[in-house]
Amino acid sequence: MTVAYHRRPVLWDVDLDIPPGSLVGIVGPNGAGKSTLIKAAIDLIPKLSGRVRFHGETYARQRRLVGYVPQRESVDWEFPVTVLEVVCMGLYDKLGWFRRVTRTTKERGMAALEQVGLSEFAHRQIANLSGGQQQRTFLARALVQEADLYLMDEPFAAVDAATEQSIIELLRKIKNSGRTALVVHHDLQTVPDYFDHVLLLNTRVVAFGPTREVFTPKNLQATYGGKLTLLEQASEALSKHGSVS
């Protein structure tokens, strides 16, 4: 697919086949089109050309299989709404138009909040949350969707240790149950730890495949255009995992 803003392509000829049951890290420099890829996949941004299929069907037909976790800054955290209410929003489509939020919905919301360790915050206004708690609220909202494929836009950005841990646990859970996650990620050092597949993106696909094969200094160089500090970080991380000779 190709996506453009004001006729300037930000994603060019991206052709991917994500194997089910994999955890895919999407890395690339700022402006590489990472968020755009995710948004275009679920029709939030129009595509110039190309198509996206989920198990062979369009997104409109497979909505229920896909859970989207937007960037934390994408919403107004001063909005008068409680944590539980935000989590229950993940189930609005299943409730259907005109229907009120039911007790069962709330119970599922509470269960999801428990999984991310936010039970006691359920009835607080979201304005009172820390950055990490906000991110976990979004995770809980994705959890209640019980999707097959999760698309997460920088869930690890500026979060505390507890939140990082609960995201990792969630990712493991997704993988262990044979489900898939695409995660926009910034910290190159942790890529080999978290993801079994990696997509190196810079307007076009630089490389995509199993992390051990694709996450190489050469590919990173091509992605980041020779930003040495980042590469040094990354090769150090790689050497720890023995995939570079």
Residues at the contact surface with other proteins, assessed by CB under 8 A = 39, 42-44, 60, 63, 66, 68, 70, 74-76, 79-82, 85-86, 89-90, 92-93, 95, 97-101, 125, 127, 141
Write out the H or E segment, with its range, that includes residue 221.
helix 217-224
Which CB sits closer to other proteins, 127 or 158? 127
In whole angstroms, the minimum distance from the beta carbon of 36 to other proteins comes to 13
In the complex, the smallest distance separating the C-beta of residue 238 from other proteins, rounded to whole angstroms, is 34
- Of 31 and 92, the one with the shorter C-beta distance to other proteins is 92
Min dist CB 190 to other proteins, Å, is: 26
Instruction: For the CB of residue 83, give the shortest distance to other proteins in the complex, in Å.
Output: 11
Number of Cβ within 10 Å of residue 23's Cβ equals 20
Give the helix/strand (H/E) hosting 209: strand 204-210
- Nearer to other proteins among residue 73 and residue 213 (C-beta): 73
User: Alpha carbon 167 to chain centroid distance?
Assistant: 10
Closer residue to other proteins in complex, CB, 82/190: 82
Cα radius of gyration (the chain): 18
Give the nearest distance from C-beta 117 to other proteins in angstroms.
Answer: 22
Backbone conformation region of residue 117, classed left if phi is above 0, alpha if psi is from -120 to 50, else beta = left
Q: Which lies closer to other proteins via its Cβ, residue 60 or residue 161?
A: 60
Q: Nearest Cα to 244, choosing from 216, 205, 206, 220?
A: 216
Residue pair 20/175 in contact by the 8 Å Cβ criterion:
no
